[in-house]
């Protein structure tokens, strides 16, 4: 595939001001960085969920797979197992990854599959016009909660740390170079990498002012220190007006899921034979 600007000619239907535009160009820049490092464009695969975020597959001119709502991670896992030479990334929504597909997110982290999961966390179901998600704040007013959401949000960073993710980061659509840098690091990390992106939904949850006012970039933070990462992640509960840290919270390199196949004693032979042997538990 020839080098190009990686943007398709498809008509763009995101709302004016949507944070997905920042994500699109940040991701494009990060992918260009990988290509500059020698990763062939044809070895990069994007898996999307269903939602506004998923249109990334239409607008980025790279190999992509539109999966179903909540199922980016199992699809990405299958792709990575079938061909570990590929760089596999997911663009998932917060509804996608934190609600309907939450179990996959936890197991992706637990298994340490070498994929990158970027959550477009606009804290709302954007495509279906404004219902609350697991990271909407208490009292969020939307289509399904005109009187305000009756539930507290959960903190996905704490959940990912507890699930064993080896790369846990947060950025925002309000900081394009920061976002691009974090995505670049995530794509290069060996093992499961997770980035929570606080993204503006210009139509249903525009909290630009909150992220600009409360956001700050992590410094003097040691990402190899698990306890420090947990403490930083606890600082903001996705509900209050507390300071919101952006950056790499935690990084640890561990054996990846697909590496365990090739280490398996009953796994000589082709990739397909290795996977079959692993699944049949021949030891």
Ligand X SMILES: Cc1ncc(C[n+]2csc(CCOP(=O)(O)OP(=O)(O)O)c2C)c(N)n1
- Contacts with ligand X by CB under 6 A lie at 49-53, 68-69, 93-96, 100, 120, 122, 124-128, 133
Is residue 130 within the footprint of Mg ion (CB under 5 A)? no
> Which residue number, 72 or 122, has a Cβ lying nearer to Mg ion?
122
For residue 68, the partner it binds in Mg ion, ligand X, none, with Cβ less than 5 to 8 A by kind, is ligand X
d(CA 45, CA 248): 23
> Which residue number, 130 or 191, has a Cβ lying nearer to ligand X?
130
Is residue 122 within the footprint of Mg ion (CB under 5 A)? yes
For residue 193, the partner it binds in Mg ion, ligand X, none, with Cβ less than 5 to 8 A by kind, is none
8 Å CB contact between 74 and 82: no
Residue of the chain from 93, 101, 134, 156 that contacts Mg ion (CB under 5 A)? 93
Specify the long-range contacts of residues 1-8, CB closer than 8 Å, at least 24 apart.
Answer: 1/40, 1/41, 1/42, 3/35, 3/41, 4/61, 5/61, 6/31, 6/32, 6/60, 6/61, 6/62, 7/59, 7/60, 7/61, 8/58, 8/59, 8/60, 8/61
Q: How far is the CB of 153 from ligand X (least distance, A)?
A: 13
Q: How far is the CB of 15 from ligand X (least distance, A)?
A: 11
Q: How far is the CB of 124 from ligand X (least distance, A)?
A: 6
Q: Concatenated DSSP letters for 209-236?
A: HHHHHHEEE--S--TT-HHHHHHHHHT-
CA proximity to 123, closest of 238, 243, 241, 242: 238
Is residue 20 within the footprint of Mg ion (CB under 5 A)? no
Q: How far is the CB of 197 from Mg ion (least distance, A)?
A: 11
> Which residue number, 126 or 181, has a Cβ lying nearer to Mg ion?
126
d(CA 202, CA 22): 12
CA proximity to 157, closest of 87, 105, 83, 211: 105
> Which residue number, 91 or 168, has a Cβ lying nearer to ligand X?
91
Q: How far is the CB of 206 from ligand X (least distance, A)?
A: 13
- Give the footprint of Mg ion on this chain (CB under 5 A): 93-95, 122, 126
């Amino acid at each position: 595939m020839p080098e190009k600007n990686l943007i398709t000619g498809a008509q763009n239907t995101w709302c004016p001001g949507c944070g997905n535009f920042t994500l699109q160009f940040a991701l494009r820049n990060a992918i260009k960085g990988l290509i500059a490092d020698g990763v062939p464009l044809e070895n990069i695969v994007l898996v999307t969920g269903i939602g506004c975020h998923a249109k990334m597959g239409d607008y980025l001119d790279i190999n992509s797979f539109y999966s179903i709502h909540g199922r980016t991670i199992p699809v990405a896992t299958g792709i990575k197992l079938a061909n570990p030479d590929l760089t596999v990334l997911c663009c998932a929504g917060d509804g996608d990854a934190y609600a309907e597909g939450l179990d996959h997110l936890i197991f992706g982290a637990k298994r340490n599959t070498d994929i990158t999961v970027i959550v477009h966390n606009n804290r709302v179901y954007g495509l279906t016009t404004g219902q609350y998600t697991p990271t909407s704040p208490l009292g969020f007013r939307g289509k399904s909660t005109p009187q305000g959401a009756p539930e507290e949000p959960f903190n996905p960073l704490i959940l990912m740390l507890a699930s064993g993710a080896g790369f846990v980061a947060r950025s925002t659509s309000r900081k394009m170079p920061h976002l691009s840098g974090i995505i670049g690091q995530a794509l290069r990390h060996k093992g499961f990498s997770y980035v929570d992106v606080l993204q503006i939904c210009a139509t249903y949850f525009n909290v630009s002012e909150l992220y600009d006012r409360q956001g700050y970039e992590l410094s003097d933070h040691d990402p190899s220190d698990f306890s420090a990462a947990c403490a930083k992640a606890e600082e903001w509960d996705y509900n209050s007006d507390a300071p919101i840290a952006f950056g790499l919270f935690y990084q640890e390199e561990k054996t990846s899921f697909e590496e365990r196949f090739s280490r398996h004693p009953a796994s000589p032979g082709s990739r397909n034979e290795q996977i079959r042997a692993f699944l049949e538990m021949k030891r």
